[in-house]
């Protein structure tokens, strides 16, 4: 059984607060968005998110796995191959992630935002 990240087990606060605790982190939503397209290896994720450091990507992936949002699969090969994919729980965030993307497309490409 997967052990949830400590922030995910909070029992106080509203459901919005508890849900945000699961995806809180600068890169978690970006990682989940990339995994919506399918399974990726660590270096593929790293190439798709060039601004993230290796250490931060590793930490964010560990937390997402601990919270049951992604699945980490290790293949017994030499060298070892590790792949990341969305769990059913992670896939259930697709409407939320796509709504954030749509909002960003509508609101963050406008001249007013660029002038601010």
Topology, domain 6-108: Arc Repressor Mutant, subunit A (1.10.10)
Percent of residues, the chain, with pLDDT higher than 70: 84
3 state SS of 84:
strand
Q: What CA–CA distances, in Å, run from 3 to 8, 24, 37, 67?
A: 10, 17, 26, 7
- Does the pLDDT of residue 50 top 70, yes or no? yes
Q: What is the pLDDT of residue 116?
A: 47
Predicted TM-score (pTM) of the model is: 0.82
- Does the pLDDT of residue 74 top 50, yes or no? yes
Domain range list for the chain: 6-108
- Does the pLDDT of residue 7 top 70, yes or no? no
Average pLDDT over the chain reads 88
């Amino acid at each position: 059984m997967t052990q949830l990240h400590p922030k995910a087990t909070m029992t106080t606060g509203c459901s919005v607060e508890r849900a945000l605790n699961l995806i809180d982190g600068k890169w978690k939503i970006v990682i989940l968005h990339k995994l919506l397209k399918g399974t990726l290896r660590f270096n593929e994720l790293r190439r798709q998110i060039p601004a993230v450091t290796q250490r931060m990507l590793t930490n964010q992936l560990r937390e997402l796995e601990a919270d049951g949002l992604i699945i980490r699969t290790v293949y017994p090969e030499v060298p070892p191959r590790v792949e990341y994919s969305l769990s059913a729980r992670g896939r259930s965030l697709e409407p939320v992630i796509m709504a954030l993307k749509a909002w960003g497309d509508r609101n963050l490409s406008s001249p007013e935002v660029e002038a601010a």
